[in-house]
């Protein structure tokens, strides 16, 4: 069931590997070199399983899933691959015989930031679960040369630096020159009838781009399965190289896969982004269809042999691209092609924010992708023709793909897919009742919920080895393969010894994080303080500024009454703001300036510390999450589609402090409302407040003295070293009526925070609730989420024979 390599064999092969790469002895290697050698050796160990898995899928002609996503955030891969292979202990032991530290080498790996946040990380958790369930799942995305920017703070302001993750090479990828595709942009297209009576498109003056795949093995958990993540890179076609005379002329091609767009929850109609989307989609669909040609599968069987998943609307051009290939290249009729396309495709929505919904200008689409646009127009025309007589004008025009000069990508995705899902129960309800309600009337059977999940392998087993050991000691190891077994851990909620051990584990993790804080921020924090964590992209709807107002409130109280009885707290933030998102950057600056004030005020001491980490990402999350006591999930109800840091923090024993938004609601249902802290407006109340337009932020400012003190502190010089950022926050909250109801939720947030303090004073009660959270986190295993996608949407099954091992 998993790799047999002895320590002795490993040591010999590692030395050999290093020497063959660098031509000197490993003793002289740098961490990067040692890591590279180790990574390549591990990849060697993987390769036979990788090959055999592919061959098995082909031989059994199993249905394959292709997960199309503009983003993947895999995190560092050495540890998780070695773990899933069952080699981690052997490697650690072997390295220590050579006086090398695995942890140190593992840190030398670059963390590929090929995504913005939740959506990209979800895609990577799904890749891990697909392989671990033994399902034929492929990832399809872009090999950005530069990932999401590296964040630095200069004088408290966010500064963005390029993230050159490929600098020291990427040992996990294999460039696959045998499987390149050509992607065409622009030019003129016209249709001509050929001698068989088919309308065939003719192209002239197109820009031809070579799509080169780089494949990365996705290793399943001890089941011999190794799937493929395929990331495409744009290059000049070899046969056209002579047409390019200067470096500048090659730019338009190279720039396609140069850098990830750093916007999350915000759509901008940039031409280059549309190029990226079509590039990835076209290359991916071409390579799927090529497979069918090679193995001569009847085209009408495509939906039985492949499922294409559209991760948010970013890859929605899959729909017209598949139509194009089936019609223009496979010569199917429109009706045949459509039947195949919509049975093959399924779509997940990840946001209800209007400003995040993709709408491309028709003129842009027409010019960049003339043939694709013709097909979209035809899809739209047929949709309108069919819908009008049944549902009438209003619904038809509101659901059309082409509206007011733009292509509505969500509408294209819904019309072209047999399944549409949201990512938490509340979110799916909102899609059905609000955002996509007209579609729900047209196609109720397409809608379904798939609550997000996380892989416990990375986020618990590997990130929190001491907790994992404790659970193993108490309930055995079954929970690792069958997460639902975790509920057995509930049986220890009253066991003092277990609770003490759990407290010890948390304290140890907090000490480790405290050391890291000292090292990278120079701030001394007390590991016994309560560690309060908010880690996620910076966005007004996520309300990091509500957190900020509460901290400021505590600070003012401490200043007024230095003996006030607050439990010592460390407020921990990690968040990148989109470079063009001015307001989000202002929030960062205010938090950083408040941190300077608070952390250096002798009146405050250990009562309050603020740590805003730079460059939040997967690797930092792995350090922070095991050390968290409180998980801040404080988005305005209805705005956060699901959230996934909420699940990771819960699984590591943090107690959730939350609004009833996204998956927080399901967390409450599983853990029970006594075991988390809920506050704030419900989504129903938010909808009502918006509908009756009765909210007056200024009145709250006028009537609530505490709140007024806090808001005034933004502008009266309390916080040092600000330009106009304090005023900007004040303005948005008081004068522009507080779009995200921060002031409205402030009082109940403060009250909930006080309850947090009270509970923390009773350490064994705290530990009991923490244990119940851990024991209730199994339903958020991505393995279960993927099983539901597989059963309900993709119709695929595990290829691992149960009795094999
Ligand atoms: C679109 C067009 C142009 C440029 C960028 C974008 C873009 C890029 C990324 C739009 C959105 C995103 C990312 C969205 C995202 O991460 N959404 C989160 O998805 C998680 C997984 O489902 C949820 O848990 C979060 O609630 C949701 O915010």
- Domain range for 207 is 7-452+788-804
Domain presence at residue 304: yes
pTM of the predicted model, to two decimals?
Answer: 0.98
Q: Per-residue confidence at 620, pLDDT binned at 50, 70, 90?
A: very high
Helix or strand (DSSP H, E) at 176: none
pLDDT digits (tens, 9 = 90+) for 577-591: 999 999 999 999 999
The verdict on 535 and 660 lying in the same domain is yes
- CATH at 538: 3.40.50.2000
Q: 3-state class of 306 per DSSP?
A: strand
Range with lowest mean pLDDT among 197-206, 308-317, 610-619? 197-206
pLDDT digits (tens, 9 = 90+) for 103-145: 999 999 999 999 999 999 999 999 999 999 999 999 999 999 9
CB 573 within 8 A of CB 546: no
Find the 72 Cα to ligand 1 centroid distance in Å.
12
The verdict on 146 and 205 lying in the same domain is yes
Structure tokens of 581? 């998102």
Domain presence at residue 431: yes
pLDDT of residue 801: 76
Exposure string of 475-498, with b = 16+ CB inside 10 Å and e = fewer, is beeebbeebebbbebeebbeeeeb
Identify the bridge partners of residue 535 per DSSP, sorted by sequence position. Answer: 574
Helix or strand (DSSP H, E) at 366: helix 362-368
Ligand 1: which atom is nearest the Cα of residue 122? Answer: 21
- Averaged pLDDT score across all residues of the chain: 97
Find the 265 Cα to ligand 1 centroid distance in Å.
5
Q: Give the C-alpha separation, 6 to 148, whole Å.
A: 39
The verdict on 371 and 480 lying in the same domain is no
Is the predicted pLDDT of residue 268 greater than 60, yes or no? yes
Ligand 1: which atom is nearest the Cα of residue 270? Answer: 3
The protein residue whose alpha carbon is closest to atom 19 in ligand 1 is: 119
pLDDT of residue 269: 87
Distances (CA, A) of 5 to 176, 295, 453, 637: 28, 36, 32, 51
Structure tokens of 105? 């080498």
Residues flanking ligand 1, CB < 6 Å? 116-119, 122, 261, 263-265, 267-268, 273, 314, 350-351, 356, 358, 423, 452, 640-644, 662
Average pLDDT over residues 177-189: 97
Cβ neighbors of 158 (< 8 A, separation 6 or more) are 151, 152, 576, 577, 585, 588, 589
Number of domains composing the chain: 2
Ligand 1: which atom is nearest the Cα of residue 121? Answer: 21
Q: Give the C-alpha separation, 741 to 639, whole Å.
A: 12
Find the 434 Cα to ligand 1 centroid distance in Å.
19
Catalytic residues: 350, 536-537, 542, 644, 648
DSSP 738-784: -TT-HHHHHHHHHHHHHHHHHHHTSHHHHHHHHHHHHHT-GGGBHHH
CB 546 within 8 A of CB 679: no
Q: Give the C-alpha separation, 684 to 690, whole Å.
A: 10
Find the 266 Cα to ligand 1 centroid distance in Å.
8
Ligand 1: which atom is nearest the Cα of residue 427? Answer: 26
The verdict on 649 and 666 lying in the same domain is yes
Average pLDDT over residues 551-559: 98
Ligand 1: which atom is nearest the Cα of residue 358? Answer: 2
Find the 457 Cα to ligand 1 centroid distance in Å.
24
In angstroms, how far apart are the furthest CA atoms of the chain?
A: 92
The protein residue whose alpha carbon is closest to atom 3 in ligand 1 is: 267
| Best of 350, 358, 426, 639 for a ligand 1 pocket test (most atoms within 8 Å of beta carbon) | 350
The verdict on 539 and 425 lying in the same domain is no
Closest CA to 510 of 480, 487, 492, 530: 530
The verdict on 713 and 798 lying in the same domain is no
Composition of the chain by helix, strand, coil, percent to 5: 55, 15, 30
The verdict on 428 and 497 lying in the same domain is no
Task: Sheet containing 359-361: give its strands across.
Answer: 359-361, 406-408, 402-403
Average pLDDT over residues 385-407: 98
Q: Give the C-alpha separation, 645 to 650, whole Å.
A: 8
**Site of tokens 């792995």:** 622
Find the 570 Cα to ligand 1 centroid distance in Å.
29
| Best of 264, 354, 780 for a ligand 1 pocket test (most atoms within 8 Å of beta carbon) | 264
The verdict on 625 and 648 lying in the same domain is yes
The verdict on 341 and 286 lying in the same domain is yes
Domain presence at residue 2: no
Average pLDDT over residues 6-26: 97
Q: Give the C-alpha separation, 600 to 595, whole Å.
A: 8
pLDDT digits (tens, 9 = 90+) for 57-69: 999 999 999 999 9
The protein residue whose alpha carbon is closest to atom 24 in ligand 1 is: 643
pLDDT digits (tens, 9 = 90+) for 75-96: 999 999 999 999 999 999 999 9
pLDDT of residue 805: 40
Beta-sheet pairing, 608-613 with 677-678: unpaired
| Best of 69, 115, 118 for a ligand 1 pocket test (most atoms within 8 Å of beta carbon) | 118
pLDDT of residue 300: 94
Give, rounded to a whole angstrom, the gap between the first and last alpha carbons of the chain: 6
Beta-sheet pairing, 406-408 with 419-422: unpaired
The verdict on 421 and 523 lying in the same domain is no
pLDDT of residue 803: 47
CB 82 within 8 A of CB 29: no
Q: What percent of the chain has pLDDT over 90?
A: 96
DSSP 415-465: HT-SEEEESSHHHHHHIIIIITHHHHHH-GGGEEE----B-HIIIIIIT-H
Average pLDDT over residues 221-230: 97
Average pLDDT over residues 668-684: 98
Cβ neighbors of 417 (< 8 A, separation 6 or more) are 310, 319, 342, 345, 346, 347, 446
Find the 261 Cα to ligand 1 centroid distance in Å.
11
Closest CA to 299 of 255, 265, 333, 252: 333
pLDDT of residue 195: 87
Ligand 1: which atom is nearest the Cα of residue 423? Answer: 22
CB neighbours (10 Å) of residue 647? 29
Q: Per-residue confidence at 2, pLDDT binned at 50, 70, 90?
A: low
Ligand 1: which atom is nearest the Cα of residue 116? Answer: 9
Average pLDDT over residues 763-776: 98
Q: How many CA atoms lie within 13 A of 279 on its CB side?
A: 31
Find the 228 Cα to ligand 1 centroid distance in Å.
23
CB 345 within 8 A of CB 319: yes
Find the 670 Cα to ligand 1 centroid distance in Å.
26
The verdict on 225 and 150 lying in the same domain is yes
pLDDT of residue 742: 98
Q: Give the C-alpha separation, 527 to 549, whole Å.
A: 24
ipTM of the complex: 0.98
Domain presence at residue 256: yes
| Best of 68, 360, 451, 641 for a ligand 1 pocket test (most atoms within 8 Å of beta carbon) | 641
Q: Give the C-alpha separation, 409 to 446, whole Å.
A: 17
Find the 314 Cα to ligand 1 centroid distance in Å.
10
Average pLDDT over residues 316-337: 97
- Backbone φ and ψ for 281, nearest 5 degrees, come out as -65, -50
**Site of tokens 């006594």:** 674
What angle in degrees, to the nearest 10, is found between the helix axes of 582-599 and 544-560? 30
The protein residue whose alpha carbon is closest to atom 1 in ligand 1 is: 267
Closest CA to 188 of 175, 174, 205, 172: 205
Average pLDDT over residues 592-604: 98
pLDDT digits (tens, 9 = 90+) for 411-438: 999 999 999 999 999 999 999 999 999 9
Q: Give the C-alpha separation, 273 to 287, whole Å.
A: 21
What angle in degrees, to the nearest 10, is found between the helix axes of 763-775 and 742-760? 110
Ligand 1: which atom is nearest the Cα of residue 663? Answer: 24
Closest CA to 608 of 668, 554, 658, 562: 554
- Backbone φ and ψ for 565, nearest 5 degrees, come out as -90, 65
The verdict on 294 and 259 lying in the same domain is yes
DSSP 676-702: SEE-S--HHHHHHHHHHT---HHHHHH
| Best of 348, 351, 584 for a ligand 1 pocket test (most atoms within 8 Å of beta carbon) | 351
Structure tokens of 433? 């009742």
Closest CA to 465 of 626, 621, 618, 655: 626
pLDDT of residue 802: 58
């Amino acid at each position: 069931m998993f790799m047999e390599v002895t320590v002795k064999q490993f040591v010999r092969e590692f030395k050999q590997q290093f020497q063959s790469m660098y031509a000197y002895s490993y003793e002289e290697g740098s961490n990067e070199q040692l890591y590279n050698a180790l990574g390549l050796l591990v990849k060697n160990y993987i390769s036979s399983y990788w090959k055999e898995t592919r061959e098995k899928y082909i031989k059994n002609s199993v249905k394959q899933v292709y997960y199309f996503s503009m983003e993947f955030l895999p995190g560092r891969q050495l540890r998780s691959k070695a773990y899933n292979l069952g080699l981690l202990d052997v490697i650690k032991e072997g390295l220590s015989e050579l006086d090398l530290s695995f942890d140190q080498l593992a840190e030398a790996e670059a963390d590929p930031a090929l995504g913005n946040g939740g959506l990209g990380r979800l895609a990577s958790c799904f890749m891990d679960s697909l392989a671990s369930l033994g399902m034929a799942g492929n990832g399809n995305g872009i090999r950005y040369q530069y990932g999401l920017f590296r964040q630095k703070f200069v004088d408290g302001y966010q500064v963005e630096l390029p993230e050159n993750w490929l600098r020291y090479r990427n040992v996990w990828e294999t460039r696959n020159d045998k499987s390149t595709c050509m992607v065409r942009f622009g030019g003129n297209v016209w249709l001509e009838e050929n001698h068989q009576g088919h309308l065939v498109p003719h192209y002239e003056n197109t820009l031809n781009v070579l799509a080169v795949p780089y494949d990365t093995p996705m290793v399943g958990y001890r089941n011999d399965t190794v799937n493929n993540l395929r990331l495409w890179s744009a290059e000049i076609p070899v046969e056209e190289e002579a047409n390019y005379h200067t470096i500048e002329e090659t730019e338009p091609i190279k720039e396609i896969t140069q850098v990830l767009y750093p916007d999350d929850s915000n759509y901008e109609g940039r031409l280059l982004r549309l190029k990226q989307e079509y590039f990835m989609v076209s290359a991916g669909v071409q390579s799927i269809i090529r497979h069918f040609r090679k193995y001569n599968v009847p085209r009408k069987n495509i939906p039985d042999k492949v499922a294409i998943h559209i991760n948010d609307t970013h890859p929605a051009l899959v729909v017209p691209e598949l139509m194009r290939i089936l019609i223009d290249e496979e010569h199917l009729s429109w009706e045949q092609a459509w039947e195949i396309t919509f049975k093959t495709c399924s779509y997940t929505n990840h946001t209800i924010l209007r400003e995040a919904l993709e709408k491309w200008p028709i003129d842009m689409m027409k010019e960049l992708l003339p043939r694709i646009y013709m097909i979209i127009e035809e899809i739209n025309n047929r949709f309108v023709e069919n819908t009008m007589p049944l549902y009438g004008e209003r619904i038809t025009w509101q659901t059309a793909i082409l509206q007011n000069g733009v292509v509505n990508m969500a509408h294209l995705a819904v019309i072209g897919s047999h399944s549409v899902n949201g990512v938490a129960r509340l979110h799916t309800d909102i899609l059905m009742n609000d955002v996509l309600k007209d579609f729900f009337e047209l196609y109720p059977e397409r809608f379904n919920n798939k609550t997000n999940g996380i892989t416990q392998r990375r986020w618990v087993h590997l990130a929190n080895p001491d907790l994992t050991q404790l659970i193993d000691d108490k309930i055995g190891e079954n929970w690792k393969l069958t997460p639902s077994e975790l509920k057995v851990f509930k049986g220890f909620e009253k066991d003092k010894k277990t609770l003490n051990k759990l407290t010890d584990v948390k304290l140890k993790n907090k000490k480790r994080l405290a050391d890291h804080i000292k090292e990278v921020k120079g701030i001394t924090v007390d590991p016994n303080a309560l560690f309060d964590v908010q880690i996620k992209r910076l966005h007004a709807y996520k309300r990091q500024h509500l957190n900020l107002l509460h901290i400021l409130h505590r600070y003012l109280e401490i200043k007024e009454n230095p003996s006030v009885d607050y439990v010592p707290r460390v407020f921990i933030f990690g968040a990148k703001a989109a470079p063009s998102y001015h307001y989000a950057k202002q929030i960062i600056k205010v938090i950083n300036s408040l941190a300077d004030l608070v952390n250096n005020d002798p009146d405050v001491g250990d009562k309050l510390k603020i740590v805003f980490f730079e460059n939040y990402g997967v690797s930092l999350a792995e350090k922070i999450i095991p050390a968290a006591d409180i998980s801040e999930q404080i988005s305005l109800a209805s705005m956060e589609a699901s959230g996934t840091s909420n699940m990771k923090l819960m699984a590591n024993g943090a107690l959730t402090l939350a609004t009833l938004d996204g998956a927080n609601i399901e967390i409450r249902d599983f853990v029970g409302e006594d075991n988390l802290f809920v506050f704030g407006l419900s989504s129903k109340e938010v909808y009502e407040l918006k509908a009756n337009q009765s909210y007056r932020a200024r009145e709250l400012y006028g009537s609530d003295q505490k709140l007024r003190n806090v808001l005034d502190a933004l502008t009266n010089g309390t916080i040092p070293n600000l330009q106009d950022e304090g005023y900007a926050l004040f303005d948005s909250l008081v004068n522009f009526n507080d779009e995200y109801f921060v002031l409205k939720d402030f009082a109940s947030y403060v009250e909930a925070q006080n309850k947090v303090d009270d509970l923390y004073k009773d350490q064994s009660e705290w530990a009991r609730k923490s244990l119940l959270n851990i024991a209730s986190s199994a339903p958020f295993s991505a393995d279960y989420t993927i099983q539901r996608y597989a059963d309900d949407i993709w119709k695929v099954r595990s290829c691992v024979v149960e009795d094999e091992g």
